[in-house]
Amino acid sequence: MNAKRWIAIGIVAALLVVSGITKITSTLLASDDEYKMSWAESLTAMDSEMTEMVLEDGDQDKRIAVLHIDGAIQDTGSSDSLLGGSEGYNHTDFMDQLEQIREDDTVAGVILNVNSPGGGVVESAQIRDKILQIKKEKTLPVYVSFGSMAASGGYYVSAPADKIFASPETLTGSIGVIMQGYDFSELMKKVGISDNTIKSGEFKDIMSSSRPMTAEEKAIMQSMIDDSYGQFVKVVAQGRHMTEAEVRKIADGRIYDGRQAKANGLIDAFGYEENALDALKKEQDLKGAEVFEYDSSGGGFASIFSTSISQIVGQKSEAHQALQLMNMMEAPRLMYLYGK
């Protein structure tokens, strides 16, 4: 372990000591039912505040919110740890931004930029349901701009949009569901590893990596895949004003480029974020509107400290690598995902 890591550990230890002393002091000073926030909790509250960044000045009574989905759509937990959050898409932050839009009466339109291979079935459904809730309660127009990829779950969350823009080179589609696992049983035999699983029911270890799946197990899992696939088809049919039969003809899991997607009715026009924004302003009577985006990273002490620690320890520390390995070894799950 090098000197920088020892310094980082020392800083963390010092903060833990200070936090502990503060907590004890605040407890001793509390003499009534009104609880005063401790120093540590105050920092958390500061960091949890969602700030805004103005991208274009304009009318503050009718504003356009710009949102981003960049990366795999997975709920990997909160990003407010003192040791730094995950890079890329953060599900908790994104859902908070959608809720903020629902509560903000000044927001008159939304631009959603999607650059994602998809992700979890549950997370994708949460985003889509929240967008539909916002559109129903506030009748807000939602325009979507695809980046280099908006596949599977990336398309699922975009389907309710009023209009979808993509580059001719964008990869999209991949309408379908996948669940993957591995069978290491033959390798285990070669290296002398045996499985000692004890289970309460026949299917408790379904999709275990230590043995092949039975025909009955495959049928069980296929029924789950078919259910989720059916939901995906309905979402696309409703969002794109197509029949389910029409969607099923193009929803065999294949990827489409932007040209093919437009020919199949999956997008509305070619263009990028600026084109989607211009169209939203022109078509939804939002010319002169202020354009902004949320900055959920905040500017509190915890954010500053986490950045400093990341610089000292490095993004590819042993702990970071261990967490990545654990994520790779997690249980199989239903995914609206293109690639792996």
| Catalytically active residues, by annotation | 152, 204
The DSSP secondary structure of 155-180, one letter per residue, reads: HHTTTT-SEEEE-TT-EEE--S-B--
Q: Are 173 and 255 in contact (CB under 8 A)?
A: yes
For residue 193, with 0-12 CB atoms within 10 Å meaning exposed, 13-18 middle and 19 or more buried, which class applies? exposed
Q: Are 73 and 123 in contact (CB under 8 A)?
A: yes
Cα-trace Rg, the chain: 24
Tokens representing 198 are 């004890």
Distance CA 313, CA 8 (A): 7
**What's the start-to-end Cα distance of the chain, in Å?**
33
131: DSSP letter: H
Distance CA 239, CA 159 (A): 5
Q: How far is CA 136 from CA 54, 103, 105, 240, 311, in A?
A: 26, 13, 14, 17, 44
Contacts 24+ apart (CB under 8 A), 260-263: 260/173, 261/166, 261/170, 261/172, 261/173, 262/166
For residue 285, give the 3-state DSSP assignment: coil
Burial letters 208-237, b for 16+ CB under 10 A, else e: beeeeeeeebeeebeeeeeebbebbbebbb
Distance CA 248, CA 257 (A): 18
